Amino acid sequence: MFPVRQPWLCKALGCYDCCIRCIGAVPYPSLVATLLCYAGMALFCGCGHEALTQTEVLVETYFARNVQDFAVMASFIKYFQYVIYGLASFFFLYGILLLAEGFYTTSAVKQTFGEFRSTQCGRCLSLTFIIVTYILAFIWLAVFAFTAIPVFFLFNMEQTCHTINILAETTPSINQHGWICMDARQYGLLPWNAMPGKACGMSLASICKSSEFYVTYDLYIAAFAGAGITLLALFVYMIATTYNYAVLRFLGRKGIR
């Protein structure tokens, strides 16, 4: 039906066939996981870094009068911010490696590039990535749970602020409700001998009206969401690398080296 003997048409069909082969060699699960990983780490690292800075300002302004009371927390925030820098760099490089491994295994499985086949070294490398990804997923599951702690603390604080706002509308003086407090020492942010360590009544109401509190709350929620997206990306990586390794093993048993 087509004049395939014409050179220009054969060349066009050859380019089309090459494009189809290249598209077929793209590891879409690994690509999606890489995009999720980068998006999650951008949220976690960027918002988490800024949220820690805002937390230090809030504690220093409203919950601690002595510098020594929050010195340990300030040091922890400083070191954890350095950890965030390291996490961003590590996951950036690891995402590139996993994506490259996905391209390799997909090409080997589909035998896209002529004599390119899976080798024992390639299968060993894929197994190494599987083990490392599983370990990272379990570690990041703990990070995801740890990220929920400040969200839980600020959620309780936001609910207390809501209660104070209701009482402020129904009573002539907020000082009558000085028993409504938020204690930062209960969440391990400050030592038990820190003064005042908690905010009550008018002091708590002033925190609730500040924009820094709601900005910090939103930043921690975004960091929590970023940790969840990164965890999802690791799960997708686990599924993709495990499947690719299983297929490579199958090809190896069939004698395709």
Alpha-helical (H) ranges within 59-119 are 71-110
Q: Strands of 175-242 (E only): list them.
A: 181-183, 198-200
- Give the number of other CB atoms < 10 A from CB of residue 257: 10
Could you give phi then psi for residue 77, rounded to 5 degrees? -65, -40
Residue 165, domain member (yes or no): no
Query: What is the spatial distance between Cα 182 and Cα 218, in angstroms, rounded to a whole number?
Result: 19
Residue 152, domain member (yes or no): no
Residue 185, domain member (yes or no): no
CA angle 92, 95, 101 (to 5 degrees): 145
Residue 234, domain member (yes or no): yes
Residue 95, domain member (yes or no): yes
Q: Tens digit of pLDDT per residue, the chain (257 long)? A: 334 444 444 444 456 555 555 555 566 777 888 899 999 999 999 998 898 888 888 877 777 777 676 777 778 888 888 888 888 889 999 888 888 777 776 655 555 434 445 556 666 777 888 888 899 999 999 999 989 888 988 888 888 777 777 776 666 555 555 667 777 777 767 767 667 767 777 777 777 777 888 888 899 999 999 999 999 999 988 888 887 777 766 655 554 44
Residue 48 near residue 228, CB atoms below 8 Å: no
Residue 97, domain member (yes or no): yes
Does the pTM exceed 0.85?
A: no
**What single letter denotes the amino acid at residue 85?**
Y
Residue 55, domain member (yes or no): yes
C-alpha to C-alpha distances, 242 to 17, 24, 234, 247, 254, nearest whole angstrom: 29, 19, 12, 9, 19
Total domains present in the chain: 1
218 is in which domain, residue-wise?
27-146+213-255
Query: What is the spatial distance between Cα 42 and Cα 55, in angstroms, rounded to a whole number?
Result: 19
Residue 99, domain member (yes or no): yes
